[in-house]
Structure 1
């Protein structure tokens, strides 16, 4: 039986990726559907995808599947046939990356989770089968021309900062579980209006639409396939593009350009910029926006202190890293939480 986990070093895997001759396509997909035995489902899926040389990150739970992957182009159709042959994944929509270099992933990881999107919902009466209506790109553009339509961004601040739809409301939180109740409170006075929720690929806004219906809202929609599907539809159908800037993605690319506008600023000098990077200091890894000039000036670091740290002896760097939390650490100047000083200051 094939191994069900990767046993090769990250360095070697990256080298193998760049030695490949077949170009890769980056894909995302999800589906809310019941999985009776997530562990068995995970193991069988791992074997099948590994045989097709699929890389990426996939979460499996009793409520469904959430995947961001890349596949060699010759294996794209076999992959589609494989996925649609799985009970519950019939007619699965595959979101093809908009701005893709094929280097998004270099290893396959499939993890079993309690939920495919951590939502904090504990109400037994919540039902994902009762969700908002889909809107495609054409309908989205038509509805958003109406002043009685409210557009809600269900992504994190650092995603919203580099790109969003015209007039979209930001729900100012860094976790989806906090955004759900917050969105219901923020929209309390808008219950009679048309509400359209959106996210990167559709998985968060689909659940958010079900949550608002659960909270008593009635006219709720969510953007089919999220920003990725919208951008592809706009390009293919020659529609007006109402998305401004860049779409943040959770892979090695960290973003795909949807429009030529740069709506964000470098967190160090304030110049127009929308390139996310992780601080080069292994003891920090802050996610922040950095322009090319500051990347050179600070050597890929978020601050002078971190820049000094990367030049310390490796042993001293390791000692400093002991006990440092490894969770998501993102710069968010829109929030009043206590954080480290603004990068570069």
Structure 2
């Protein structure tokens, strides 16, 4: 059996659009010791491919991190498949809050050094020594205390469109940069209650362990992240302390939690929280663009990119040669590191 995709992206997207059944988008992760990640990857690929699962999954010696889309009629078979794996038995599945069923169009399972890049090289770091879980109700109660510090362990562009009330941003676009930054920012707050959160729980769980590793005393992390919090808060009729949109790393680029629009279009400054990638493939900048600017600039981040968009494909391909786009993300927060923290 072929253990990777061989169909063109265009055809896969057409097949997805033609599907007559609903899909369910979910995410899960588990820190666990996987002896042979490559063998585990191949076995899992064969099982999920047979169920029509799409998505992005990372496997490493330290565990698994997955965001997937499952045909609704195969969801229970998918759950059973996971539960048959010893360290995934009973795993929490974070069901998407705002799901159009079109989040993924192909299955990709990759073996990596770590399931979340953290930059930690200290051999004494122990993921088993992590912060205390908080469910939605406990999170709401603890964050009512004005002395509690809430720390957003997501990237700047995620924080910009939505975050918890009073949450402190660690203004970086990589998790590996954020970990030492968080320690530095909170160095004189080691005895306070520190609550960390992220999208689905994987980053804040590791961050809580890192904070304890660096001498912090009272560290908590939100179980299941924003996704689980939102689902449980709605089920239990709890006040939603998260405002705005939850950025997600799939084709949706966001799921709405509340109707609050807390960010602005990066081009005209009007209220907007719609992320997009510049339509110029030689740029592909991730930025926020309102509907008016999307029409005016044809989905591009600038008039320069817009002009490139109208060149013949041969010329555009020539312009793209040799370009190292790196991490193309609009970030305007680098100078706001301590302002909110100093208010505590």
Q: TM bucket by the smaller chain?
A: over 0.9
Q: Does 1:63 align with 2:65?
A: no
SS at match of 2:287: strand
Count of residue correspondences: 335
Aligned-residue CA RMSD in angstroms?
0.7
Report deviation, 1:189. 1.2
Report deviation, 1:326. 4.2
**Equivalent residue for 2:185?**
186
Report deviation, 1:328. 2.7
C-alpha distance in structure 2 between counterparts of 1:187 and 1:77, whole Å: 43
C-alpha distance in structure 2 between counterparts of 1:318 and 1:54, whole Å: 33
**Equivalent residue for 2:230?**
231
Q: Which runs of 5 or more residues in structure 1 are unaligned?
A: 337-345
1:159-212: CA deviation from partner (whole Å, max 9, x where unpaired): 000000000000011110110011011011111111000000000000000000
**Equivalent residue for 1:99?**
98
Stretches of 4+ moved more than 6 A in 1?
none
Change (3 A) 1:326 1:86: farther
**Equivalent residue for 1:340?**
none
**Equivalent residue for 1:262?**
261
C-alpha distance in structure 2 between counterparts of 1:66 and 1:25, whole Å: 17
Q: Pairwise mapping of residues 119-198 of structure 1 onto structure 2 (< 5 A)?
A: 119-198=118-197
C-alpha distance in structure 1 between counterparts of 2:250 and 2:86, whole Å: 28
**Equivalent residue for 2:340?**
none
1:25-67: CA deviation from partner (whole Å, max 9, x where unpaired): 0000000000000000000000000010000000000000000
**How does the TM-score come out when normalised to structure 2?**
0.97
**Equivalent residue for 1:199?**
198
C-alpha distance in structure 2 between counterparts of 1:312 and 1:51, whole Å: 42
1:266-292: CA deviation from partner (whole Å, max 9, x where unpaired): 000000000000000010000000000
Q: Pairwise mapping of residues 1-345 of structure 1 onto structure 2 (< 5 A)?
A: 2-335=1-334
C-alpha distance in structure 1 between counterparts of 2:165 and 2:135, whole Å: 17
Report deviation, 1:335. 2.7
**How does the TM-score come out when normalised to structure 1?**
0.96
Q: Which runs of 5 or more residues in structure 2 are unaligned?
A: 336-344
1:57-106: CA deviation from partner (whole Å, max 9, x where unpaired): 00000000000000000111111111011021111000000000000000
